[in-house]
């Protein structure tokens, strides 16, 4: 193994340890069911001091979100609630297997559709790595789409990346189930994941 490979191996091991540390940190922060401003600032400090992993796509989104929350000097209830769910699902574990829960049970379209925006109606549900829901809506409307609530005219339902196998019991589960019922009834609605949507931006 040459020096370059050794350096890469060392970085990979360090990144793996730090991601494990962040998962433990996230689990601790949500253990009492709430996130307060002091905890938001603590998390920001931790991420800022671990930029080597904060550049990871998933974690950079978390870092950007925390920075944005703190940017105006006010941490409001909705921001704390969004961050709580992001951290809770990031640290979620399969109680039986002890492994990170995957979103493979989500009722996503298969095969995944090619997405367009002009004149299309989008609905967003869940917690997003891209940013708050309003930022996702803005990204869609800037490209010519209409973003709003779920109706029979909705073309695409986008599910945030922080979704786990417990989605049926989550606050946004009813919206997903409604979309599945609509699709089963012949309504031409696409149900896609956040990463798939982002790949079309």
Written as one string, the DSSP assignment of 71-133 is: HTS---HHHHHHHHHHHHHHS-B-TTT-SBPPSTTS---SSPPPP--TT-EEEEES--SSSSH
CA-derived radius of gyration, the chain: 18
Whether this prediction's pTM lies above 0.75 is answered by no
Other Cβ atoms closer than 10 A to 33:
7
Structure confidence by residue, pLDDT tens digits, 171-185: 567 788 889 889 989
- Longest CA span, the chain: 59
Structure confidence by residue, pLDDT tens digits, 50-106: 766 555 666 677 788 888 899 888 888 888 888 888 787 766 643 333 333 344 467
What is the torsional sign of CA 57, 61, 62, 64?
positive
How sure is the predictor about 1, in pLDDT bands with cuts at 50, 70 and 90? Answer: very low
Question: What kind and span of H or E run contains 193?
Answer: strand 190-193
């Amino acid at each position: 193994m040459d020096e370059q490979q050794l350096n890469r191996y060392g970085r990979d091991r360090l990144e793996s340890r730090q991601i494990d540390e962040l998962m433990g940190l996230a689990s601790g922060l949500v253990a009492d069911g709430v996130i307060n401003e002091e905890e938001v600032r603590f998390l920001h400090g931790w991420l800022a001091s671990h930029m080597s992993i904060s550049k990871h796509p998933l974690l950079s989104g978390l870092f950007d979100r925390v920075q944005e929350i703190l940017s105006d000097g006010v941490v409001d209830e909705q921001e704390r609630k969004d961050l709580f769910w992001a951290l809770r699902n990031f640290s979620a574990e399969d109680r039986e297997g002890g492994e990170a829960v995957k979103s493979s049970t989500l009722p996503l379209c298969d095969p995944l559709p090619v997405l367009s925006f002009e004149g299309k109606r989008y609905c967003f549900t869940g917690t997003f790595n891209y940013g708050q829901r309003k930022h996702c809506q803005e990204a869609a409307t800037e490209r010519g789409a209409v973003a709003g609530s779920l109706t029979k005219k909705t073309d695409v339902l986008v599910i945030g990346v922080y979704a786990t196998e417990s989605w049926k019991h989550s606050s946004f589960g009813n919206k997903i189930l409604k979309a599945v019922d609509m699709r089963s009834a012949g309504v031409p609605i696409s149900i896609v994941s956040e990463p798939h949507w982002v790949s079309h931006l």
